Amino acid sequence: MMIRTTTTMALCALMLAACGDEDAQPKDEENARPPLVDVADEPPGENCEHGGRRVATGLDVDGDGHLAADEITAVAYVCDGAPGLDSLIRLTPIHREGSCEAGGLRIEVGLDVDRNGELDDDEVDPARTQYLCEPDPGWTELSSLPGVQTVYSFALAANTTDGSPRLGFMFTDPDYRQTLIDESVLWEGQGPYNGPNTYVTYRLDGAGDWSAYEGRGTPQFYRYSELLVLRDDTYYTTNYAFGSNSLISVIKNGGEGTWVNTAAFAGRKAHSLSFIEGDLDHVYFIAARAIGGGLNELAFERLPVDGFGLANRWERIAALESSASDVWSPKLTNAGDVLVASYILGDRASFRATNDLAGIEAAVDGEAGFDFAEIASCEAAILADAAWDGDYLYVACVDDEGALELRRAELVDLDPPLAWEQVETAIEGAIEAIDLEASATHGVSIAIRAGGRLRVYTRLDDAPSFDEPLPGHFDHVHAADAIFLSVCDFEGDRVLRTFRR
């Protein structure tokens, strides 16, 4: 009986058997026509002594969804063993695996040793596994937001509920602000909540372009903002001068916010916020915190999600560093039920982790004993970042010569030392800025600025998928179905551009 399967996916690599054509791969210009794979019975003969399967691939030139004889570009054979041992093929959809960056199909083959008609895991011949990949999507630019008079900050995030992307943007431009007011986007709060600047949150509309849906006038300005979208609620961080110090402010849902007194570090990143899956009633924060008398500390704190718009309800947990004068680039990273903190202290990068919710509660009540333990460090570091892909925690350090060190470890147990392993990359050049992201769907990606170019490595062992001479600040994020990159030259055209892959 003839078995025939046709699949519309790009051929990534053909590794079935020695009789296959290893050099047959679709050219980039041919990707407009979807590749097809056709699997059929192969009778006993020259190609397979005992029969087997013939696997043909090619381009669907006429677009009819079927692989015609004149469209075949490569053929391989999966041969049966001795009589009674049939060869079987198993097709499994994948998100990102092997060399399929955009997902595709894993094709496994083997002999039906137990003769049950199914290819069991222990019957798979891994040396003969192949991948049929979805075409590399490349980067597509979304419609740019209007140019503005002054850009203060922007940040990308993915909603923890459904993975949909969000974009926060803070700027000054009376005309664009009036447009947003006319569209009933802005909340017109009074008093300390209002000001000459504008904050807006965007989401994608049905056409795939950014659409403003919430925001407010604000007196704040800051270049190192972050955006967290926790269960559909948005939290955007910013900063503005307050006396001899500053106020770190968190804007919730484009409306009311809360603030905490911090040291006057407006010239560099001084805070970060995130969450722990075991406690969704709070957002967590680290900040270079002013504690009076001209002193400051790197404080670990939390804020009830229902505490916005009220008096200061920050709950202090612990001081990670007794002095924050030499602290740079603090960041909190969610790793499931673990919270990871990273920062530069002097010329040393420190990475800490905790999943001790009971200890946090006790610390809030004033009890001693909570430990946000250090799990990794780097010497002579000027940049640090961390990301979690669902299995591994990745930590990145950039030294004073711009060289990258990337490590990873499983977050199985935080008590013993983590088993770190080096991760090799194809990244070249002296790194001036870095943004590390990871997710179960898209794996690990790194955006860097080096030699005047903005590069994004969506495969760490390959050339950058994005490589453009774009100046300015940048951010990228893993959403559910794509990776998003934003860049804006604060001193140049002040246009916020966003790309999707």
Asked, for residue 358, whether it belongs to a domain, the answer is no
Same domain, 124 and 259: no
According to the model, what pLDDT value does residue 7 have?
41
The string of pLDDT tens digits covering residues 30-69 is 444 566 788 888 899 998 888 888 888 777 788 888 889 9
Asked, for residue 425, whether it belongs to a domain, the answer is no
Asked, for residue 37, whether it belongs to a domain, the answer is yes
Query: Mapping DSSP to helix (H, G, I), strand (E, B) and coil, where does residue 71 land?
Result: helix
Same domain, 125 and 240: no
Q: Which residue range is the domain that position 244 belongs to?
A: 235-348+363-379
Asked, for residue 198, whether it belongs to a domain, the answer is no
Asked, for residue 51, whether it belongs to a domain, the answer is yes
Same domain, 111 and 245: no
For residue 359 the two structure tokens come to 């200890």
Asked, for residue 294, whether it belongs to a domain, the answer is yes
Asked, for residue 196, whether it belongs to a domain, the answer is no
Domain end (from 133, 151, 166): 133
Task: Name the pTM for this structure.
Answer: 0.79
- Long-range Cβ contact pairs of 274-277 (< 8 A, separation 24 or more): 274/228, 274/332, 274/333, 274/334, 274/339, 275/160, 275/228, 275/230, 275/334, 275/339, 276/334, 276/337, 276/338, 276/339, 276/355, 276/357, 277/334, 277/336, 277/337
DSSP-H helix ranges across 336-436: 357-364
Asked, for residue 262, whether it belongs to a domain, the answer is yes
Same domain, 239 and 375: yes
If one counts the domains in the chain, the total is 2
According to the model, what pLDDT value does residue 345 have?
93
Task: Print burial letters for 28-53: b (CB count within 10 Å at least 16), e (below 16).
Answer: eeeeeebbbbbbeebeeeebbebbbb
Rounded Cα distance between 223 and 215, Å, is 18
Contact 330, 345 (CB under 8 A): no
Residues of the chain below pLDDT 50: 1-32
Same domain, 108 and 244: no
According to the model, what pLDDT value does residue 166 have?
98
Same domain, 128 and 249: no
The string of pLDDT tens digits covering residues 249-262 is 888 999 887 776 66
Q: How many CB atoms lie within 10 A of CB 374?
A: 12
